[in-house]
Amino acid sequence: MTRRLALVITSVVLATLLLAGVATLVAGNLRARQVTKTELRRQATEIAANLDGVLENEATVDNAAALRRRLTRLKAFREALDLDGLAVYTLRNDGTLVGDDDPSGFDTEWLAVDRLQNGEVIAGSNGNLVFAAAPSRLRAGRLLVVVVTRAANSGARAAFDTFLLAAIATLAIGIGVAVVLGRRLTKPIREASAAAMSIARGELATRLPEPPSDRHDELADLARSVNAMATELERSRVLEQQFLLSVSHDLRTPLTSIRGYAEAITDGAGDPQQSALVIRGEARRLERLVADLLDLAKLRAKSFSLRLEPVDIVALAGVVCDGFRPDADERQIEIRLTAAGNPGRLLVSADHDRLAQVAANLIDNALKFARTEVNVGVVVEGGWASFVVDDDGIGIPDDDLAHVFDRLYVARSRPTRHENASGLGLAIVKELVEAMGGSCSAGHAPIGGARLQFRLPLLVGRD
């Protein structure tokens, strides 16, 4: 990439030099031609005005050879005026010009004789040769024509040589700058590419040098993006490992109990009825864990279907709380249900069974951590109905609040009792609530523990 960038920069510099050089030479040549034409017109007029005095009336001689000898007096003019070409012609009545030798590259056919006979000074050019012609009427009555010529681009060669040297020097500098700049610009990209390859190989601790906080160009944003990606992948790996350990533990414990009681029944030891109850309970735990895994897999695959209908969230909260009261009583935990402001029926558009699953997951999570009480509330916030669950447990650290509903996330504070804490339940809550058009959040409960809640848009207000 460095070579390509250097080639592009060099090509741009070269093209710019060529365009600038050609434009400068063309404009300079046109300007030089115009300036030369104006100067020659002035010189031809001045020479023609003084020609009678220079020839000292000897131009009355009809012999053309004698006239040419007199014109040698103009040599001083040529040297004094630094003219490349000067010639004086006699304009005969038949319109022909005779007299001095033609200047180099000049042809008398370029002159408009009729305009000269009318006393007009003319100027023109042919190629790079510029000429001017002025008529002069001598006292003897003869009409002479003074012609001066000059090459308009007499300095073009020197200017081109100077430009060529400057262009070579500029091009060399441009190549050097292009190489240095190319390496400097592509270095962060090469580093980002190498870092990405290291991350792809599993070296998730790889990081790029962090750019200054006040730098916000594309390369700085690229470095920040690569570092953010590596951080997120590293965190995902830790969460995945934590999840696998948690699920393995949650699978191993009920399987160990099932196997132990099954062996006891086989050996005829213990109470078969009690053993069967334990096996059934552990089997239900396994069934619930497998169901959570399947639900999460469906949600991630976007193959989870919802049947939306009006649901009274207050009534649903009461039914779900009633279902958990036997378990809560056994644990000596009180479940309280409140509806702020006695709102009556609050209807939301949701899948009834999945909304019940969401509420159950939040209450079940609170029971894992609660010491003595769990408060369940339904409140109205603007056009939203919020389902709030508070517990008086150990709470959630501030660093964990933003990740409570993440997939595979398990908080650092584990339940005191042995429970399924694989982090699937709350991840399923988030997926289902967002699929129904709502949102989830976590915070600190007024009673000292954690507050988990979700909210859904109200379909119909209070009845």
Answer with the one of 109, 130, 157 that is the final residue of a domain. 157
Length of the chain, in residues: 463
Are residues 13 and 130 located together in one domain of the fold?
yes
| Model pLDDT, residue 444 | 92
d(CA 269, CA 409): 41
Tell me: do 374 and 452 sit in the same domain: yes
Tell me which residue range forms the domain holding 239: 218-300
pLDDT in tens, the chain (463 residues): 566 666 777 777 778 777 777 777 777 777 777 888 888 888 778 877 776 665 554 444 445 455 555 555 555 555 555 555 777 787 777 777 877 667 777 888 888 888 888 888 888 888 778 888 888 877 666 788 888 888 776 555 666 677 778 778 877 887 777 777 777 777 777 788 888 888 888 888 888 888 888 888 888 888 888 888 888 888 777 767 766 766 676 677 778 888 888 888 888 777 788 888 888 877 877 787 777 777 767 766 666 677 889 999 999 999 999 888 888 888 899 999 987 555 567 899 998 988 988 898 899 889 989 999 999 999 988 889 999 999 999 988 888 888 888 765 655 444 444 444 455 778 888 888 988 999 999 999 999 899 999 999 998 544 4
Residues 397 and 447 in one domain: yes
Q: What is the CATH number of the domain that holds 356?
A: 3.30.565.10
φ, ψ dihedrals at 85, nearest 5°: -150, 135
- Report the distance separating Cα 432 and Cα 269, nearest Å: 46
Q: Is the same domain home to 341 and 240?
A: no
pTM for this model (two decimals)? 0.47
Quote the pLDDT of residue 241.
72
Asked whether residue 351 falls in the same domain as residue 421, the answer is yes
d(CA 457, CA 438): 7
Full DSSP string of 136-169: EE-TTS-EEEEEEEEETTTTHHHHHHHHHHHHHH
Predicted local confidence at residue 416, as pLDDT: 42
For residue 169, tell me if it sits in a domain: no
Instruction: Tally the C-alpha atoms within 13 A of residue 5's C-alpha that lie toward its C-beta.
Output: 15
Domain count within the chain = 3
Tokens 């005779």 sit at which residue? 98
CB-CB contact of 451 with 463 (8 Å): no
265 and 331 in a single domain? The answer is: no
Distance CA 41, CA 125 (A): 12
Instruction: For residue 90, list its beta bridge partners.
Output: 98, 144
| CATH code of the domain covering residue 100 | 3.30.450.20
